[in-house]
Structure formats: structure tokens, C-alpha cells
Structure 1
């Protein structure tokens, strides 16, 4: 395993803390600033939309630069955003801090995915990307629950101070462990954007939006579901989030291995399972035992989609991997924002605290339909050298998946 992958995972860990660490603290932030539950949830959707903007705009701007220097610059932006959040005197400034931190997110994972894929053999790229995303899942397993616990004990601001420190450590790790890379040769914005002429690229983006919209749509308001429907005490929420995080950690690596074996089959299977899990959770949320089971399944199945979705879009855009990868990270976060927004609408409409889970199931079910329909879209033969493309070993480059 290239040691540079550890540095990328460390950066992913810090970013994962910022993205999801606030979920368990929404009740405290809501009370502190005197805003409603759905308005507090906009701190999640606002972050996600900013990630989407940064993933496309920043990735386009940095495509021709040395990737290590780009990653270092993005981590500096991340640290600044979390400092603003820690010092925020009101809701508006906290949102600004979230936006600043979010701008680096998409570009970091977009560039990082390309760097990770380039470190290993073509048939191991989904696994390498899964390892980079492993930092994100470790943040769910350990960082988010501990951040929630810290915020509940010392105030939610303490969590952002802790995340800032993690960002500084990640910055040092990237400087020390990621090898210097040459700027990509003959890269132009026009050639990068050319990938978006391919239907399969847009299909990948659509499935990413719906898959992550479904998971985050349910997860954003999970603290309210756990306490007001399942009947758990507030102080147990951080430890219940450990279960979700543990599921994401396992699911991320299992999803990577499955995608390396058969991209098409694994993605269809995972999307079908995810729809079933979200539906089950919505139907059984009043049972503590079933809630625990559903939390683990929701995390494991939900995050197992990430490596395959990232590989899928890179497969159809091997001549523009950085832009395609960044666009897919943007799609993940458009989905996050969509899911959080729709979940908030369902809450405001009075459909109850399990309604975000029902919304999530609907989104992932639609994603499954799109993925199945993609089998009827003729896949484009990927340009360039096939040996250098991210291609499912069990499928030819031109196959639709």
C-alpha cells in the first residue's frame, strides 16, 4: 500500500468531521441560535451545495497545477473555514464558515481520487479510492460520535476547534507523505469539459445525486428520529452514531472490493439493498432493536456506493479524470443538499420524524431505476489508452454499466 494513501485518508478524515460532525449537534445549535430544526438542517444542505460549487469551479481552475500543491492549498482553506465556524457569533457567520470549509471538499476528493488511482494498478483503483474515502468513514465511526459528545459536554464550538486541529495535522501529513507530482500535460478546460458530452457520464452523476440524497436525506435528521421516535435519550445519540459510522467503515471497503470485481452488478445490487434498508428503517423506527440494526445497515450499504460511483464516472472520462471526479463529488453533495432539503420539507409539512427516511427510500429507488435504464444506453468507447483507463475488469470499456 503506497504510504501516500494514508495522507489522503487523513485529509479525508478531517473533511469528514466537518461534513458530518454537525449532524449530532443540530439540536444544540438550534437552541443556541433560536432557529427551527429545519433551518438548523440548512447548515448541512448549505455545506453540501458549497461543496458542489467548489468541486466544479475549483477543480476547473486547478486542473493544470501540481496536485500536491493543490491539496495543500485546499487544506489551508479547510482550516480557515473551521476557525470561522468555531468563532461564529451567530447563525449567519456559522453558515459562512461552513461555506468556506466546504469549498475545498469537492476539489480535495476529486483530485485525491485521481492521485489515489494513479498510485496503484488499474484493477485495484476502486480499492485505492475506497482507502482514501476510508478517512471519511473513520470520521463517521470515531470522529462524529466523539465530536457530538465533545459538543454536548463543552459546547458545540469545541467540536469545531477540535476539527481545526485535525486540519493542521492533515496539512502536515500531506506535506510529508504525498509525493510531488508533475502538472498534468496538455490539460485544457475545453478537453476536460468534453467528457460531459457522454450520456453515461450524466447517468453516473444522476445516480450519485439520488444515492447520496437518499442516505443523507435520512441521516441529516437522525438525531430527532432517535430521540423523538425510537425513544433514546439525548446522551445516547453519540454512541448510536458509532453504529452508523462502523457500518460506513465496513461498507466503504466492501463496496470498493465489489466494484473491482464487477462494477455493474455491484452497483445495481447495492442500490436495491439501500432502498430496502431505508424503507425498513422508516417502518420500524419505533423499535429500539430494529433502529440499531437499521443504523448499521444504513451506514454500511449507503457508503458502499461511493467507490463504485467514483470509478464508474472515471471509467467513462479517462481523458478528463480530474474534472469528472470532481463533478462526481459535486453530485454527491448536490444529493446531500437535495436529501436534507426534501427531508426538511417533509418535517415542516408535518409528516413526522421518520418522513426523511421515506424521502430517502424514494430517492434511492429512483436511482436504482436510472441505473437499470443505463443498461439500455449504448456506452461510449472510452478514449485514450485502455490500459490507463479505469475499467471494470469484467466489462469492456465500451460496455454500459
Structure 2
């Protein structure tokens, strides 16, 4: 009798689901000028649409997960309800005739998205043996890596050919297909036990877990303080033609994938070192971009450095959280929420700096500052490790 595959095919369906959710989150970054003109707002306010989505993830995901745990719904049933709620938000955004309606749709999508990602990770962990959960989580989250490579540039190409509403409908259709496939293909799981909610809450009382959350939020916040405004910076400061933006974003996304592959190989054994080196390279990329944004070659190099780190550090972030606590639905959802809270702060701060008259390079300064704060967040861990090494008895 053949043994079951180490990584079931359903893992890739969960990755496709996260790909759809993540593409929807970031797609406005590639079509800011068009959205600003059509909705009658500034580019900074369009940047806030990323923040609104992230705010829904950060504030809405954990309470919704707690509600689902209290109702003791099985993971599959809960995910189907969440994806249905997400589709409602997607339709509202696609039909939006003004900025407030668009923002409301984005918030609703974000609320459903955060809890959906947490449940995708939990379902993936249940589909494999414990020794393969890290690999399964990395594969599921590859949907997040691939969204900048194919999803965001793809939505920009659709927007340039058929308008921004067509891009929003395309993402909604992909999410609807994923919802249908989850309903048909994912095996039915038993309802949750009565004491699971209490166990999930007890897991959160961990300083190591919250330290890991903090670094994750700063890494993603730094990245999206810049990424959210790459399109107008590359067009208006560096001088690239608007038609090149999808391809530049695709190159950035490929750097994400390459960085993710490298980090994935090292994250389990060298988690903190990978985060430290990655944050240093991320800060270097932002410093280069700030100083040379008006020159094409240095700007492209900076874009590559930010792409190779930033979001690509995700396997190290996941490995650190998994080492700090048992990754149940609430731990996973809260990690997603903390990350997106950092994203929301980064994107908001970049837009606020632009609206305050600091120019289009201002988001790059914000990204640099958050990357340096991320490095500082690792300092206590490094000091404790050095103290532990110094306290060891010397070998005779």
C-alpha cells in the first residue's frame, strides 16, 4: 500500500487562497494614480486603502477568531463562512462609487482575510505530521510571496486594459473559486472541543511570543511603508514610464521569491541571525533608495535588496513564532494581525508624510526608520544570548 504524500495537494489549494487574499490587499499599490483620479482623492489617501485593509485584519481578525472558537465550529466550516464574508467585502469594493464605500469594503475584506489566513495555517498543520508543519506553513504562505510576482502586476495589467473595477472583479472571482474548491476538497474536520478556547488563550501568555510578534510587525511595516508608494516614486521621481511598473513590480516579487527560498532553508536553524541580517539588508536598501531615487540603476538595486528581505523574511518570522508557542488558530491569526498592524502603520505613515508635504521620498525614510527599530528589537535577545554564553563554565 502506498504511503500518503508528505505534503498533500490540499496545501497548494490553501496557498492559492492566501494568494487571492494577499493580491487583494496589495493591488491598489500598482494603480494609485488611476484610483486617485477616479475616486477624487490624493495618492496618500489611496495608500490608506492598504491601511484600511490591514486595519481590518489587525483589529477584526482576533475577535472574529475568538467568536468562531466560542461557537466551536470546525475549521473547514469556519473557513467557508469567513471566505463568504470576504466575498461580500470584495463585491462592495468592486462596486464602490466613492472613497468611503471603497474603504468600508476594504475593511470588511481585511477582517475576514486575517482569520482566513490563520485558519489556512491551522488546516495545513492538521494535514501533515508534526515534523512537517514548518514546511507546510512555508508552502501555504508562498501564496503571500507570489502575490507581488503575479497577482499585483496582473491586476495592474488588467487595470491598464479594462479599468480598475475589472481588476477588483478578477480577484473576487479567484477568491470565489477558492471558496468553492475548499468546500469540495478539504475534508470535514470534527467540531472543536469545549476547552480549546481556554487553551488558546493560555498560550498567549508568553513574552517570547510577543517579542516575536513585535519584530514581525516592524519587518512588514518597514517593507510596506515603501512598497505602498513604489509606483508613484518610480514614475515621478525615478522617471520610469507607467507601462514599466507591472514589470518592475514583477521583478520585485521575484526577488521576494528568491529571498523566501533562501530564508526558508536557514530559518529553522538560524532564526534570529536570519532576521538580524535581513533587517540590516532591508535598512541598506531603503538608505540607498532614499539617496538615489532619481537614478535608475541604484533605485533598481535598492528595489532588489528590499525584495530579497522584507516580506521574504516570513519563514523566519513563522519559525520564531512556532518555537515560542503552539500555533493554534488564535496564535496564527494574532500573528497575522500584528503583522498587518505594522503594515497599516507603515503605509499610513508613508501617506501621512507625503500629505504633510515631505515629498515622495518620505515613505522611504519611514521604511528605513522601521527597519532600524526592527534591528533594535533583536538587541535584548542578542544580549541575553551573549550573557548565557559567558555564564557557561569553560572547558578544561
Question: TM-score w.r.t. structure 1 length?
Answer: 0.89
CA–CA distance in structure 1, aligned partners of residues 128 and 199 of structure 2 = 25
Contact 1:151 1:158 in 2 (8 A): yes
- Unaligned ranges ≥5, structure 2: 1-6, 386-396
Q: Which residue of 1 aligns with 2:171?
A: 163
Match of 1:395 in 2: none
Residue equivalent to 1:332: 339
Distance 2:74 2:278 in 1: 35
Q: CA shift at 1:375, angstroms?
A: 4.0
Counterpart of 1:87 in structure 2 is 95
Deviation at residue 343 of structure 1 after TM alignment: 0.8
Show the counterpart of 1:8.
14
Contact 1:130 1:253 in 2 (8 A): no
Q: Distance in 2 between matches of 1:199 and 1:375?
A: 15
Partners of 2:50 and 2:347 within 8 A in 1: yes
CA separation in 2, counterparts of 1:257 and 1:281? 28
Following superposition, the deviation at residue 107 of structure 1 comes to 0.8
Distance 1:261 1:121, change over 3 A: farther
Whose Rg is larger? Answer: 2
Structure 1: state its 5+ residue gaps: 379-401
Q: Name which of 20, 30, 35 aligns with 2:26.
A: 20
Secondary structure of residue in 1 paired with 2:357: coil
Is residue 328 of structure 2 the alignment partner of residue 316 of structure 1?
A: no
Deviation for aligned residue 1:121 = 4.2
Asked if residue 48 in structure 1 is aligned to residue 54 in structure 2, the reply is: yes
Contact 2:220 2:342 in 1 (8 A): yes
Write out per-residue CA displacement over residues 159-183 of structure 1, whole angstroms, 9 at most, x where no aligned residue: 0111111011111222233333223
Q: For each residue in 1:4-43, what CA deviation from the matched residue of structure 2 results, as whole angstroms up to 9, or x when unmatched?
A: 1111011011101110111111111111121112111111
Counterpart-to-counterpart distance in 1, 2:270 and 2:125: 17
- Equivalent of 2:277, from 253, 269, 276? 269
Instruction: Give how far 1:351 is off.
Output: 2.4
Q: Which of 356, 363, 366 is residue 356 of structure 1 equivalent to?
A: 363
How large is the RMSD of aligned CA atoms in angstroms? 1.8
Aligned to 1:100: 108
Per-residue deviation, residues 233-292 of structure 1 (Å, max 9, x unmatched): 112111111111112222233322221233222222222222222222222222212222
User: Could you tell me which residue of structure 2 aligns to residue 59 of structure 1?
Assistant: 65
2:372 is the alignment partner of 1:365: yes
4+ residue segments displaced more than 6 Å: none
**Distance change (3 Å), C-alpha of 1:255 and 1:49:** same
